[in-house]
């Protein structure tokens, strides 16, 4: 893969010298099983994942959200880069793809951190925002949190605080409770995700958007862009323009993989 460097040799040099030698074996396994899948090119790039792993560790991120799981490369990276009691809400309507990587995630011993939600992301984020948060004793493992999730879906309580099975639930507690979010899904919703994640991620937390240089097409004349890349390119360019003036975040565009935009919530 050439990446964005416009030189196969330089991209290969970085991957072979600095990325692959340090890639955990379980991540390589996911990369290998994904290589046989028709949409293999959608996996988050290994150099992007390496940077994300460092950001997660620098933040000491514990509560994270991932939008766009596919076979789980970036999800496993997140699970490997967070503490034992981390909680990752991972959203994707395609459970089939997730199940390709799941046995590798299980073997790596980090499945307990993951709450996979088979859904479009927007309704889940809206539920998190209007709804309830989880307060449960730390000895409950995260299989329990899936149960809590189902409970939420059926709960219409308007009270700000109530008990169920001895566990307390509070409304609005999800706001500002996440350390990190990674967005790698439908490009036409990037701005919608941004608005919601800005409320869910705490001040000082990060939201990382993948594919924000869209194979370098953001600087190509429209007529030079392959037809199937045109629509997403327009969405990405609109997102890039919006985010460049959004004073609620500090931003940094890193030209790794397909380009990522790192947003730090500042207010």
Ligand X SMILES: C[S@@+](CC[C@H](N)C(=O)[O-])C[C@H]1O[C@@H](n2cnc3c(N)ncnc32)[C@H](O)[C@@H]1O
Residues that bind ligand X (CB under 6 A): 42-44, 67-71, 73-74, 91-94, 97, 120-121, 184-186
Q: What is the DSSP string of 92-114?
A: -S-HHHHHHHHHHHHHTT-GGGE
Closest CB to ligand LAOBWLLU among residues 179, 210: 210
Closest CB to ligand LAOBWLLU among residues 122, 167: 122
Partner touching 179 among ligand X, ligand LAOBWLLU, none, CB below 5 to 8 Å by kind: none
Give the distance, in angstroms, between the CA of residue 244 and the centroid of all CA atoms in the same chain. Answer: 21
| Residue in this structure with the two tokens 């953001």, named with its chain if needed | 218
Partner touching 24 among ligand LAOBWLLU, ligand X, none, CB below 5 to 8 Å by kind: none
For ligand LAOBWLLU, what does the binding mask look like between residues 40 and 59, x meaning CB under 6 A? -xx-----------------
Report, in Å, the least distance between residue 70 CB and ligand LAOBWLLU. Answer: 8
Closest CB to ligand LAOBWLLU among residues 89, 185: 185
Cα 257–Cα 259–Cα 265 angle in degrees, nearest 5: 125
Note whether 117 and 98 are within 8 A (CB): no
Question: What are 52's two structure tokens?
Answer: 């994300």
Partner touching 120 among ligand X, ligand LAOBWLLU, none, CB below 5 to 8 Å by kind: ligand X
For residues 205-244, which are near ligand LAOBWLLU according to CB under 6 A? 210-211
**Residue 186 makes contact with ligand LAOBWLLU by CB under 6 A:** yes
Question: Which position among 184, 194, 201, 263 is part of the footprint of ligand LAOBWLLU (CB under 6 A)?
Answer: 184
User: Which helix or strand (DSSP H or E) is residue 260 part of?
Assistant: strand 260-265
Question: What are 63's two structure tokens?
Answer: 């509560």
Distance CA 265, CA 253 (A): 15
Burial 55-77 (b: 16+ CB within 10 A, else e): bbeebebbbbbbbbbbbbbbbbb
Partner touching 41 among ligand X, ligand LAOBWLLU, none, CB below 5 to 8 Å by kind: ligand LAOBWLLU
Distance CA 21, CA 182 (A): 24
Report, in Å, the least distance between residue 121 CB and ligand LAOBWLLU. Answer: 10
Closest CB to ligand LAOBWLLU among residues 149, 239: 239
Note whether 19 and 46 are within 8 A (CB): yes
Report, in Å, the least distance between residue 227 CB and ligand LAOBWLLU. Answer: 12
State whether the Cα torsion 23-24-25-27 is positive or negative: negative
**Which positions touch ligand LAOBWLLU (CB under 6 A)?**
41-42, 184-186, 210-211, 258
């Amino acid at each position: 893969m050439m990446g964005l460097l416009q030189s196969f040799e330089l991209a290969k040099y970085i991957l072979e010298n600095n990325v692959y030698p340090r890639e955990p074996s379980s991540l390589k396994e996911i990369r290998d099983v994904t290589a046989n899948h028709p949409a293999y090119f959608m996996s988050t790039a290994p150099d992007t994942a390496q940077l994300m792993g460092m950001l997660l560790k620098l933040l000491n991120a514990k509560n994270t959200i991932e939008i766009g799981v596919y076979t789980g490369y970036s999800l496993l990276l997140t699970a490997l880069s967070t503490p034992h009691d981390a909680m990752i809400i991972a959203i994707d309507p395609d459970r089939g793809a997730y199940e390709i990587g799941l046995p590798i995630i299980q073997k790596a011993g980090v499945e307990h951190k993951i709450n996979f939600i088979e859904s479009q992301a927007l309704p889940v984020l809206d539920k998190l925002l209007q709804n309830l948060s989880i307060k449960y004793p730390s000895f409950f493992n995260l299989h329990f949190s899936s149960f809590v999730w189902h409970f939420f879906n059926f709960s219409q309580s308007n009270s700000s605080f109530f008990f169920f099975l001895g566990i307390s639930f509070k409304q609005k507690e999800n706001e500002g409770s996440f350390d990190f979010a990674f967005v790698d899904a439908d490009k036409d919703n990037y701005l919608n995700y941004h608005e919601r994640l800005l409320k869910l991620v705490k001040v000082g937390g990060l939201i990382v958007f993948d594919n924000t240089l869209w194979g370098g097409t953001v600087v190509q004349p429209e007529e030079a862009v392959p037809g199937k890349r045109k629509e997403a390119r327009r969405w990405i360019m609109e997102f890039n323009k919006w985010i460049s003036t959004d004073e609620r975040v500090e931003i940094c565009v890193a030209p790794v993989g397909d380009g990522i935009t790192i947003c730090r919530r500042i207010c």
